[in-house]
């Protein structure tokens, strides 16, 4: 038995664990009730993808790792869902890629920002941005536009798990390289992404970390990582996920 009263061999283990963590996130004031709806939508897409990382998503995760390693100022955006699902894994990815963590909420309240910052500290984070909120993303209404001037605002590469479509589009309009984790290949966020990662954040975050470690261990040169990025075809990745969802198989 683990965190939940279900053995890991249970066929729905991952899905039940995910629900448990989100529910727990709501109880702790980390995840919003809107986050529960997003979770439900995500589950439906994950089910259709076979609740696994499809090969094209794995390719996108490797490209995302290369982007984070080559970035001047990478930032991992953290919302209430991923904070509840993969806090330790986010801290680990930030360490491996030398990225900043920034709490960035759709339904922003100071209480929830602080609850998530504390939660990340409890899971090993040293510094967490998102409380300064001293800059605005152009083109968005006041609350949703708030970011840190030395965080997302200044970043060249931003990893955004489960971003809302408006903000994903506004970040893209700022010229940022956006690595978007979202199980729906048709979402506006994925349509605005530089690298669409169509996978569950619970699998995608650790997978990007593993790829980053492998790229580092193989002492991949900057040139090699640039080639990985240049050869990436985002349209093919979006089309592949949609095909798997529609056909129910690879």
How many Å apart are CA 100 and CA 155, to the nearest integer?
9
189 touches ligand ATP by CB under 6 A: yes
Query: Hunting for tokens 């993969």 — which residue is that?
Result: 86
39 touches ligand ATP by CB under 6 A: yes
Q: Segment 71-90, which members bind ligand ATP (CB under 6 A)?
A: 81, 85
Q: According to CB under 6 A, which one of 78, 183, 228, 245 is a site residue for ligand ATP?
A: 183
How many Å apart are CA 70 and CA 196, to the nearest integer?
18
187 touches ligand ATP by CB under 6 A: yes
- In terms of CB distance, is 79 or 177 closer to ligand ATP? 79
Looking at residue 109, the DSSP 8-state letter turns out to be: -
The β-bridge relationship of strands 157-161 and 177-181 is parallel
215 touches ligand ATP by CB under 6 A: no
How many Å apart are CA 211 and CA 59, to the nearest integer?
10
| Structure token digits, residue 78 | 């953290």
- In terms of CB distance, is 148 or 178 closer to ligand ATP? 178
Return phi, psi of residue 53, to 5°. -85, 110
Q: According to CB under 6 A, which one of 17, 25, 32, 42 is a site residue for ligand ATP?
A: 42
- In terms of CB distance, is 22 or 120 closer to ligand ATP? 22
How many Å apart are CA 82 and CA 171, to the nearest integer?
19
Residues that bind ligand ATP (CB under 6 A): 38-39, 41-42, 45, 81, 85, 162, 164-165, 181-184, 187-189, 200-202
């Amino acid at each position: 038995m683990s965190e939940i009263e279900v053995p890991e061999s249970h066929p729905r283990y991952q899905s039940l664990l995910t629900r448990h963590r989100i529910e727990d996130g709501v109880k702790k004031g980390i995840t919003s009730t809107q986050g529960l709806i997003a979770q439900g939508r995500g589950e439906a897409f994950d089910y259709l993808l076979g609740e696994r990382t499809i090969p094209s998503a794995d390719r996108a995760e490797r490209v995302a790792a290369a982007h984070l390693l080559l970035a001047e100022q990478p930032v991992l955006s953290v919302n209430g869902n991923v904070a509840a699902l993969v806090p330790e894994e986010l801290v680990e990815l930030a360490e491996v890629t030398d990225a900043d963590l920034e709490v960035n909420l759709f339904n922003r309240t100071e209480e929830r920002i602080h609850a998530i910052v504390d939660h990340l500290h409890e899971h090993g984070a040293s510094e967490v941005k998102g409380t300064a909120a001293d800059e605005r993303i152009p083109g968005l209404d006041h609350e949703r536009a708030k970011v840190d001037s030395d965080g997302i605002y200044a970043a060249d590469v931003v990893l955004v798990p489960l971003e809302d479509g408006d903000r994903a589009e506004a970040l893209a309009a700022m010229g940022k390289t956006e690595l978007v984790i979202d199980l729906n290949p048709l979402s506006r966020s994925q349509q605005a992404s530089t690298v669409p990662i169509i996978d569950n954040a619970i699998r995608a975050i650790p997978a990007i970390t593993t790829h980053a470690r492998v790229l580092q261990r193989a002492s991949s040169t900057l040139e090699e990582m640039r080639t990985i990025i240049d050869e990436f075809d985002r349209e093919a990745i979006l089309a592949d996920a949609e095909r798997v969802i529609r056909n129910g198989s690879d």
